[in-house]
Structure 1
Amino acid sequence: MNTPPPAPAGVRRTDAAPVRIGALAPLTRPGWTEAGHHLLAGLELAARDVNDAGGIGGRPLELVVRDTAADPQRAAAAVEELARLGVTAVVGEYHSVVARAAATTADALGLPFLCSSAVLDALTDRPTPWVARLAPPQSRGWRVYADFLLGAGHRRIAVAAVPSVYWASGARILRDHLAPHGGDVVELDANALAPTQMCDALVDHGATALLLLVGHPEPAVSLVRAVRRDQRLAGLLMGAPAGQPEFASWAASLGEDGAAIPFLRYLPERLGPLGARVAAALRERLAEPPSFVAFEGYDTVTVLAEVLRSHGLERARIAGAWPRVEVEGTRGPIRFARTPGVGGWQGGGAPVQVVDRDPAEPDRLRIRHTG
């Protein structure tokens, strides 16, 4: 005798098939697994809440999760597989270059893709109705970061970078925004220079700030430790625009050395009632404070569920619904619009903060700038 699987929490069992949604996240190395698990926690919590509220027209919402491991080819293959499995849409992903591969594949297949966290502006090469994104585009967030640097008096900026479309795009945004204000960006190859050599180069260039456009834990941890121990660089500001210090593993790896390194975060100063409720549930699920990535995951499923309830399950109807979406998310209202330089539909309203960890209390985050 075959026993059917249990219905998702909160949904009364019916004979109706579940509404299946593909979910992409980096859950194994070399992916940023901590971000991936926060993203998945948000996706799963929202799916549970959707099912507790009756699902999609009484049908349970089911996530079909695939690990991208930060591999663009693996992500593209996962989207193709999910399309064959008949999912209604695909959500998720954190790494920009991986999300770009997923978006390109979804566009070619005519499969709706709502990207949660990746910020690269050119998520697709062309305007497409199939792709939408919640996270602010990189050009917005990194310009806010550049304004923070200018306000703090920094004009001579060094970036320690490894080859990547995402890092190169970030460096270009910074350079273009800083140049009219007398700012200058010097790029240093983190693959070619050992940490001590990087310190020598920073001294030679007279940099007052170093931005870590590199992966965590390495080479970020070694670079931070080398700079902190070099007395010649005692006044140097280190920054990590991509958000590496957001996660608990940063503080665990670096302790006090990881404090006072400003990064971008997409949360309001104070959460509203929905955000506060979700934050508490996420904290319980993760056993640690939720990052902005977890909230992005939650909002992704919340938005898509509303689209499915209002416009149905047909893929073309979902893709046509993005400009008509208006949903209350954990961090404020969510709407989509066309944005120059962004191929898909771009969500708006997410706040942008520059924050860092308090040197006196590294578990506490300080807001340094908002934009």
Structure 2
Amino acid sequence: MHRITTVAIVALAAAALSCPARAEVLIGVAGPMTGKLEWTGTQLKRGAEVAVADINTAGGVLGEPVRLITVDDFCDPKQAVAAAQKLVADGVVFVVGHYCSGASIPASEVYEAAGILQISPSSTNPMLTEQGRANVFRVCSRDDAQGFEAGNYLADHWSDKKIAILHDNTTYGKGLADETRKQLNKRGTTEAIFEAYAPGNDDYSAEIAALQAADIAVLYLGGYHTEAALMVRAARDRGYSVQLISGDDTATEAFGLIAGPAAEGTLFTFVPDPRRNAEAAKVVERFRAENFEPDSWTLHSYGAAQTWAQAVEKAGSLELQAVIASLRGNQFDTVLGRMDFDNKGDLTVQSWVWYVWKGGEYVPLE
């Protein structure tokens, strides 16, 4: 009996060696998982996690399961390069990310050199795709289109008032401020103030006091929601009713939590809210059932992974050039709606919508 058992064990071990473990397809998600933008990083991570779970439930990609690796880039260019290098070393074939334009752009060079596809859910600076890297795509619109909308809105509604444009000197913030200023000036209106502020401070009362002393009626902010929230709160604390207008990073519950009641009336541009898409209804319901509101860029992260999986299936291959050709040559039905890409990796349809903070949430401006 002992001899039979031993032989059986040896046979089982040999069979195991001849049948290696099922292969996995590794992909990454990169964003600010800690720091002032941790809230947003969590949204990107959750979107990618749920997308991977759904992809695997449907059979994976090309019959293989997908595993997600998360890296933290702190929304910092140098850290983004380090995060990208880690994903390369881990063997990923695709990255959902990064969140910040200032992180996506330097990371894209790393991915290009390694032959890895990058689809950003949220990096809006035009330079990301203007570099001409064939491996780079995004499922959001660009800041030249966003700044065009903002500049026109300012000119249409406040050309007779003093306008200030402040930015945080980041790739995203200054880029958006520059595009807004460009269109505002084209419309024949010159801003009273165009200045940088230091991001990461806990108090912006001095900056707000200077705007009030200059009789600024409208503040356009090129930067992130944390500073925007602190500035509008400082203004309301002074009884200063300056109109705050900003960009797409303001589309997060975190802005309302930091600003509190001062958030009321803040205007900003954001892409059409995918939570309102019929195609996203079941996915949104899943998030909410887990007590997670998929606001901001959550569904864009999901959509980036969803688009990649569909492109791979249509290509019949994980090979980079085949997937790139698939992305450029097909349309994709996603939680973000139907989408397709131009030769730069941008969406063929650029769309920005005006929103207002009202009653503790952001809603489309009527």
**TM superposition score category, shorter chain reference:** 0.7 to 0.9
Aligned equivalents of 2:23, 2:225: Cα separation in 1: 41
The alpha carbon displacement at 1:122 in A equals: 0.2
Aligned length: 343
- The 5 Å alignment of 1:143-292 reads 143-154=148-159, 156-185=162-191, 186-191=193-198, 195-217=204-226, 219-231=227-239, 233-234=240-241, 236-244=242-250, 246-268=251-273, 271-285=276-290, 287-292=291-296
Q: CA RMSD in A?
A: 2.6
SS at 2:71 equivalent:
strand
Q: Distance in 1 between matches of 2:173 and 2:350?
A: 22
Amino acid at match of 2:231: L
Change (3 A) 1:253 1:204: closer
The range that moved more, 290-299 or 67-76, is: 67-76
Q: In structure 2, what residue type is equivalent to 1:120?
A: N
State which of 292, 304, 307 in structure 1 corresponds to 2:311.
307
Q: CA separation in 2, counterparts of 1:213 and 1:272?
A: 28
| 3-state SS of 2:33 partner | coil
- Which residue identity does 1:199 align to in structure 2? I
Q: Which amino acid aligns with 1:183?
A: T
Equivalent residue number for residue 9 of structure 1: none
Q: What pairs with 1:60-99 in structure 2 (closer than 5 Å)?
A: 60-99=65-104
Question: Residue 368 of structure 1 corresponds to which residue in structure 2?
Answer: 365
Offset of 1:124 from its aligned partner? 5.4
Q: 162-171 or 348-357: which moved more?
A: 348-357
**Kept in 2: contact 1:262–1:357 (CA 8 A):** yes
Aligned residue identity for 2:187: H
Which is higher, the Rg of structure 1 or of structure 2? 2
Contact 1:175 1:183 in 2 (8 A): no
Residue number in structure 2 paired with 1:354: 354
SS at match of 1:227: helix
- Structure 2 counterpart of 1:60, one-letter code: P
Aligned mates of 1:145, 1:135 — CA distance in 2: 17
Distance 1:54 1:129, change over 3 A: same
How far apart, CA to CA, are the structure 1 residues paired with 2:22 and 2:292?
36
Which residue in 2 is equivalent to 1:28?
34
Q: Counterpart of 1:322?
A: 327
Measured in 1, the distance between the counterparts of 2:97 and 2:118 equals 8
Deviations 1:118-160 (A, max 9, x none): 1111015631211111111111122222233233334532123
Deviation, 1:254, is 2.2
Structure 2: runs of 5 or more not aligned: 1-8, 10-19
What stretches of structure 1 of length at least 5 have no aligned partner? 2-13, 339-343
Distance 1:134 1:199, change over 3 A: same
Superposed displacement of residue 256, structure 1: 1.1
Structure 1 position 269, deviation (Å) = 8.2
Q: Deviations over 1:30-55 (max 9, x none)?
A: 4x111111111111111111111111
- Kept after mapping to 2: 8 A contact 1:271/1:330: no
Asked if the contact 2:173/2:224 (under 8 Å) is kept, the reply is: no
Greater per-residue helix proportion: 2
* Structure 2 CA distance for partners of 1:292 and 1:325, relative to 1, 3 Å: farther
**1:50–1:305 Cα contact (<8 Å) kept:** yes
